Amino acid sequence: MKIEDVPQDLGYFKDTVVRDVIYGIDKNGNYQSVISDGWEVKNAALDLTWDTVGEECEKIRAQVLAREISPLAYYMEKNLMEIGLLSGYTGISRRNIKKHLEPGAFDALSEEVLQQYAEALRITVEELKKV
């Protein structure tokens, strides 16, 4: 695409400093990086993706309320974090995180461990304890 055709459709980048870098062809036929404010097609794909994540979060929320799984699972899904990634952010072993996904084990966690999870998930301990 030509540099002047690089999309500038605000969507997910509105009111942020984040932008995409897209490569366009200049008038000499050379590729050049161009800052883009977004692209309608990409915004639609992101909408669909976030809708899917939201649906999965609601399923997990119902499981949390039924005490089938701990609130940790909900916030992991909401933040698109798997056990390995959360382990990397918190320093808590994967094995322990799996255990903490059980409501009883989660309820017994110390404030220190809850704080580690809350910081990694960018929420408060109070938020972590409920959904």
71-125 pLDDT, tens digit per residue, is 999 999 999 999 999 999 999 999 999 999 999 999 999 999 999 999 999 999 9
Cα–Cα distances (Å) from 3 to 6, 11, 30, 63, in that order, read 6, 20, 10, 49
Task: For residue 18, give the 3-state DSSP assignment.
Answer: coil
What are the structural domain ranges in the chain?
Answer: 3-38, 42-126
Residue with tokens 């940790």: 72
Whole-Å CA distances, 11 to 24, 45, 117:
20, 11, 30
CA distance 53 to 72: 16
Task: Count other Cβ atoms within 10 Å, centred on residue 50.
Answer: 11
Element (H, E) at 100: helix 94-100
At 36, give phi and psi (nearest 5°): -120, 140
The pLDDT-based confidence of 43 (bands split at 50, 70, 90) is confident
pLDDT above 90 coverage of the chain, percent: 65
- Distance, CA of 65 to CA of 34 (rounded, Å): 47
Q: Specify the pTM.
A: 0.72
CA distance 47 to 105: 35
**Is 15's pLDDT higher than 70?**
no
Please name the CATH architecture into which domain 42-126 falls. Orthogonal Bundle (1.10)
Q: What's the full length of the chain, in residues?
A: 131
